[in-house]
Amino acid sequence: MTEKKKLIQKILNVFEAGAPECQYDKLVVYRDGIGRSKQITFGKHQTTEQGNLLTLIEMYVEREGSYSDDFVPYLELIGNTPLHEDEEFKNLLLSAAREDQIMRDTQDEFFDEVYWNPAMSWCERNQIQLSLSALVIYDSYIHSGQVLMFLRKRFIELPPSRGGDEKAWVSSYVNIRHQWLKYHSNRILRKTIYRTQTFINEIEKNNWNLDDLPIVANGVSVS
């Protein structure tokens, strides 16, 4: 999987920030938190205020970045007190990402530790080996935090670790996830079917090794 890691992460960059290049300062506010509450999403692959943003900022503070002292008062607030209207905090996030290489390096480490490594461990446990499959699993971890069990229960194919066919399992998971997003009660999630549509397009091309480039992700060519 590691030889296609950069390509996979470029595709995720498109999904999360609209371009293949890392946008460490990407910050938006969505009404996708608990009970449809507003929350900040931040960073190159967009971690959330109610999710793992605190972990990212703690890692940055531990690495003694240029803005570490400014972030310290927020450590007890992130995830507990809504900060989506706190302009000082949002500007602090933007300044650190734009001006401090330590923040950019920390984001690289953070997204590996919290998302990439767990996703690849899941692939290893389930004997998932193809690059397109890894892209699907990594995206599921970034977008949903995991490979969603309630979606897995909606199709009969087994993963390779249980004697199933990898391509059949991944195709079924993508299709079920596509339908789930397409008809989700949360309209914000409905708009994210470009993710699963990208996978469907590559599956139809039989591009399981991600060698057929460029890959068009949400209208953006990635190579």
Phi, psi of 216 (to 5 degrees): -95, 115
Number of domains in the chain: 1
Which pLDDT value is given to residue 20?
94
| Residues spanned by the domain of 185 | 2-222
The domain that holds 70 is classified in CATH as 1.20.141.10
User: What is the reported pLDDT for 99?
Assistant: 98
pLDDT the model gives residue 158: 94
Hey, is 222 helix, strand or coil? strand
- Ramachandran sector of residue 35 (left: φ over 0; alpha: ψ -120 to 50; beta: rest): left
Quote the pTM value. Answer: 0.91
pLDDT of residue 1: 61
End-to-end CA distance of the chain: 16
Bond prior to 214 in cis (omega within 30° of 0): yes
Amino acid identity, position 29: V
Mean pLDDT, contiguous 10-residue spans, the chain (223 residues): 87 93 94 92 94 97 98 97 98 98 98 96 97 98 94 95 97 98 92 97 98 96 94
Cβ pair 170, 127 in contact under 8 A: no
